[in-house]
C-alpha cells in the first residue's frame, strides 16, 4: 500500500523561484492537508481540502497556493520562494469518518 | 484561534525511568489524538480519545483525556530506547475540520 506519497523528498531553491510539491494518496480520503514543521514550532497547517474542488486556508497560508482537482492529488505551490519557507513539509490525508491522519514521508525544502 | 500547548518541550530521562507529557488546549476538543515522530521521520498515529475522562493503555503507554476535554496526557512507564522521538497531541475544535497540533515534547533516552 502506497498510502500518502510526496515528491520530491529534497529540494534546494533560489529565492524567487517557483516550484510545486506533489502529494498523492490512494486511500480515497476526502480530507487532505499540508503542514510545515520548523524546529520548536510543531506542525503548522498551511492549507487543507475537504474534497475535490474545495480548499481552505490553515494557520500559515501566505506564500502558498493549493488546488484539489481530484480526490487523489493535492499539490502545494510556492510561487516565489523565500528563505522563510525553508522547512520540512508534510502532506497528510484522512477519511471523513475516522480522524486518524496519515502522513507522507516529508519534503525537505531549502531556499537560499 | 485554537491553540494547543504541550509541556515540557524537551525531556531527557534515564532508560527505565517514567515519562509524561501534558497537552492543553485553549478550546474544548471533540477528540484528541496522539502522534509519535521518530528523528528524521514523519508523525505516526498512536491513539485517539473521544470521551470525557477517557483512559486508554497501549502496553507501557497510558493516555488520558481530561474531564473538560481541554487537556490530555501521555505517560510512558519504564522507558526504552525505542521510545525516543517527539510526541505530539492534536485536536479539532467542535465543528472544525482543522486539526491543530501541539508544540510537541521531544524525548531522549540516556542508556
Chain A residues near residue B92 by CB distance under 8 angstroms? 99
What integer pLDDT is reported at residue B96 of this predicted model?
60
**Measured between CB atoms, which of B33, B41, B104 is closest to A99?**
B33
Contact: A104, B42; criterion CB under 8 Å: yes
Task: Tell me how close the Cα of A82 comes to any Cα of chain B, in angstroms.
Answer: 23
Reading the block at residue B72, the C-alpha cell is 490530555
Contact: B31, A99; criterion CB under 8 Å: yes
How far is Cα B49 from Cα B41, in angstroms, rounded to an integer? 24
Nearest CA in chain A to B30: A99
Q: Tell whether A106 lies on the interface with B, counting CB pairs under 8 A.
A: yes
How far is Cα B76 from Cα B57, in angstroms, rounded to an integer? 10
Contact: A42, B103; criterion CB under 8 Å: yes
Q: Rounded mean pLDDT of B10-33?
A: 94
A75 versus B3: the higher-pLDDT residue is: A75
Contact: A106, B42; criterion CB under 8 Å: yes
Could you tell me if A84 and B22 are in contact, meaning their C-beta atoms sit under 8 angstroms apart? no
What integer pLDDT is reported at residue B30 of this predicted model?
86
What integer pLDDT is reported at residue B13 of this predicted model?
97
Contact: A42, B101; criterion CB under 8 Å: yes
Checking if the pLDDT of A99 tops 90, the result is no
Checking if the pLDDT of A36 tops 90, the result is yes
**Measured between CB atoms, which of A41, A90, A100 is closest to B42?**
A90
Could you tell me if B23 and B73 are in contact, meaning their C-beta atoms sit under 8 angstroms apart? yes
Q: What angle do CA B38, B44, B46 make, to 5 degrees?
A: 110
Checking if the pLDDT of B95 tops 60, the result is no
Q: Rounded mean pLDDT of A82-105?
A: 88
pLDDT single digits (tens) A66-90: 999 999 999 999 999 999 999 999 9
Contacts of B53 (CB under 8 A, 6+ apart): B64, B65, B66, B67
A60 versus A1: the higher-pLDDT residue is: A60
Contact: B98, A48; criterion CB under 8 Å: yes
Checking if the pLDDT of A108 tops 90, the result is yes
What integer pLDDT is reported at residue B99 of this predicted model?
81
**Measured between CB atoms, which of A35, A99, A102 is closest to B48?**
A99
Q: How far is CA B91 from CA A3, A99, B102, in A?
A: 22, 10, 8
What's the half-sphere exposure (Cβ side, CA atoms, 13 Å) at A56?
Answer: 10
Residues facing residue A100 across a β-bridge:
none
Q: What percent of chain A has pLDDT over 70?
A: 96
DSSP percent split of chain A into helix, strand, coil, nearest 5? 5, 55, 45
Amino acid at each position: 500500500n502506497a498510502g500518502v506519497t510526496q515528491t520530491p523528498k529534497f529540494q534546494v531553491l533560489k529565492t524567487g523561484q517557483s516550484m510545486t510539491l506533489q502529494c498523492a494518496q490512494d486511500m480515497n480520503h476526502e480530507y487532505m492537508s499540508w503542514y510545515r514543521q520548523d524546529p520548536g514550532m510543531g506542525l503548522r497547517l498551511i492549507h487543507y481540502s475537504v474534497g475535490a474542488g474545495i480548499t481552505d486556508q490553515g494557520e500559515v497560508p501566505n506564500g502558498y497556493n493549493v488546488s484539489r482537482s481530484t480526490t487523489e492529488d493535492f499539490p502545494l505551490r510556492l510561487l516565489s520562494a523565500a528563505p522563510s519557507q525553508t522547512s520540512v513539509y508534510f502532506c497528510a490525508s484522512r477519511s471523513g469518518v475516522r480522524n486518524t491522519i496519515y502522513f507522507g514521508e516529508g519534503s525537505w525544502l531549502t531556499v537560499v | 484561534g485554537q491553540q494547543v500547548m504541550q509541556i515540557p518541550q524537551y525531556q531527557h530521562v534515564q532508560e527505565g525511568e517514567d515519562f509524561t507529557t501534558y497537552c492543553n488546549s485553549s478550546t474544548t476538543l471533540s477528540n484528541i489524538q496522539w502522534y509519535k515522530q521518530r528523528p528524521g521521520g514523519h508523525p505516526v498515529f498512536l491513539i485517539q480519545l473521544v470521551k470525557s475522562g477517557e483512559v486508554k493503555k497501549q502496553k507501557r503507554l497510558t493516555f488520558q483525556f481530561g474531564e473538560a476535554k481541554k487537556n490530555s496526557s501521555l505517560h510512558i512507564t519504564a522507558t526504552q530506547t525505542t521510545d525516543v522521538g517527539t510526541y505530539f497531541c492534536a485536536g479539532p475544535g467542535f465543528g472544525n475540520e482543522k486539526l491543530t497540533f501541539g508544540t510537541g515534547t521531544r524525548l531522549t533516552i540516556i542508556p
